[in-house]
Structure 1
Amino acid sequence: MKIQRIIFLVAAVLLLGSVVASETAISVDSQVEIPAGEKYIALTFDDGPKADTTSRLLDGLRDRGAKATFFLVGKQIEPNAALVKRMKAEGHQIGNHTWDHLKLQGASSQAVLEEVSKTDAELCSLLGDDEYWVRPPFGQIDQCQEALFTVPLVKWSVDPWDWKLRNTDKDVAAVLKQVKSGDIILMHDTVPESVDAALKIIDVLQEKGYVFVTVKELLEKNKVTPQPCIMYYSDKRHS
């Protein structure tokens, strides 16, 4: 597997060199949509894990029978290894959010590969070989970086700006105002108020018949076959 990853890195760099550089950023509007289906929602969390808040969130998800997707920052994985193993054991999807939360848009191909592959290696070492989907920090990459990815990319369709608001009631209101079946919600498990908000959101929407699934499950339930290099963001567009 290590040899395959090395071969991939070399091949990706060579491939990138043959692509005409472009300053065009890949935004949510230019990517593949997830069609609306049943009342399924994917709740996703960025920037973790963080010992106290992520642990409390996992407790709440377990108690509610809800699944989520966690996009982890690589350098925070080893210090929180037990939490990451718990995520997998409890059926959550685990993804790659780069090693240092580097903004990939505008970064060199070498930097992109290092940030993603280092985190991927850390996850494989801890959890075993698997396909760890990527969420680029800030949700953007350059068009010429597409060839660097061998897994699906994940953006979002509902963003309450919880990291900025840091207000549980406002977070809940922001999500409930716009959420619908098939959405991917972006939140952050490093923020205490966001954890409180996420659990309240689950309670309200479960009462309305919604089921919380992983991003991978959301695509499967909507009969979407995930493809590498494609940014999935649900059936709602954001400008």
Structure 2
Amino acid sequence: MKARRAAFLGIMAAVLLICCREESALPAVAPAEISETKYVALTFDDGPRANTTGRLLDGLRERGASATFFLIGRQIAGNEDLVLRMKVEGHQVGNHTWDHVTLQGKPAAVVQKEICRTDNAIRNILGDGSYWVRPPYGLLNKNQRCCFSTPLVHWSVDPEDWKLKNAKKVVDAVLKKVQPGNIILLHDIYATSVDAAFQIVDTLEAEGYEFVTVEELLALYGITPQAGVFYTDAREITE
């Protein structure tokens, strides 16, 4: 009887030892569940402007956020360092015409001059590349689009920061509407818009959003951009 009891206790001790070893191999706390990243593109028109664009670039760098800048050609001279920073720091640089004129309905020669002058100014700083176009006010006739050799960029979230000029109102307008895949329109020539941009990035990054360039956004959604096609966001193409 004593021999059987000793044998039984020996078996139980071995079983407990195995169980303890298996339990000790497990992590004390289960890893947190990782939520799916939500991508959005922040875009800025009408720059560069020395004081506001420079501060914006500083803040985006601190936050690890990328953006897309659509430049007015006549404002590039004297701000070449800012344009170079945009590329070096991982942002996308685009063309917003030379004089910010409405291209819709304009003769082909006028359109070509506005686009080519700005494209050349950017190339003189950044070298060869595809500098996507955002027509001022997003206006362009359908039959004009075939003249462009790059994709065209519209937007899906417009807080009208140029009119509000109030950081809180701009932030509220964006946060109320924004969804993954959106292209957000702001203007880096207003201090209030720069302040709003920082708050937007801080809030949305905390919610799992990542800020990427327009080109990156389309690629992440499996879209191959085509010349002369308007892209409103990563889920919508303007026919």
For Structure 1 versus Structure 2, the TM-score category normalised by the shorter chain is 0.7 to 0.9
Identity of paired residues, percent?
56
Q: Name stretches of at least 5 consecutive residues in structure 1 with no aligned partner.
A: 1-36
SS in 1 for 2:79: helix
SS in 2 for 1:219: helix
Residues 1:116 and 2:115 aligned together: yes
Tell me how many residue pairs correspond in the alignment.
Answer: 202
Partner of 2:185: 186
| Letter paired with 1:91 | G
| Letter paired with 2:109 | Q
For residues 94 and 232 of structure 1, do their structure 2 counterparts lie closer, same or farther at Cα, with a shift above 3 Å needed? Answer: same
SS in 2 for 1:78: coil
Partner of 1:82: 81
Partner of 2:139: 140
Partner of 1:216: 215
Give the whole-Å Cα distance in 1 for the aligned partners of 2:213 and 2:227. 17
CA contact (8 A) 1:183 1:236 kept: no
| Letter paired with 1:97 | H
Deviation at 1:78, TM superposition (A): 1.8
CA contact (8 A) 1:163 1:191 kept: yes
Give the whole-Å Cα distance in 2 for the aligned partners of 1:88 and 1:101. 22
Give the whole-Å Cα distance in 2 for the aligned partners of 1:57 and 1:125. 23
Partner of 2:149: 150
**What's the TM-score, normalizing by structure 2?**
0.82
CA contact (8 A) 1:49 1:72 kept: yes
**What's the TM-score, normalizing by structure 1?**
0.82
CA contact (8 A) 1:44 1:184 kept: yes
Deviation at 1:147, TM superposition (A): 1.9
Give the whole-Å Cα distance in 2 for the aligned partners of 1:38 and 1:100. 38
- TM-superposition CA deviations, 1:170-229 (whole Å, max 9, x none): 000000000010000000000100000010000000000000000000000000000000
Partner of 1:56: 55
Q: Could you say which structure has the greater relative contact order, defined with CA pairs below 8 angstroms and 6 or more residues apart?
A: 1
List 4+ stretches of structure 1 deviating above 4 A: none
SS in 2 for 1:40: strand
Deviation at 1:126, TM superposition (A): 1.1
Q: Name stretches of at least 5 consecutive residues in structure 2 with no aligned partner.
A: 1-35
Give the whole-Å Cα distance in 2 for the aligned partners of 1:143 and 1:96. 19
Give the whole-Å Cα distance in 2 for the aligned partners of 1:65 and 1:94. 17
- TM-superposition CA deviations, 1:101-135 (whole Å, max 9, x none): 01001211110000001101111111100000000
Give the whole-Å Cα distance in 2 for the aligned partners of 1:214 and 1:144. 27
Give the whole-Å Cα distance in 1 for the aligned partners of 2:132 and 2:204. 26
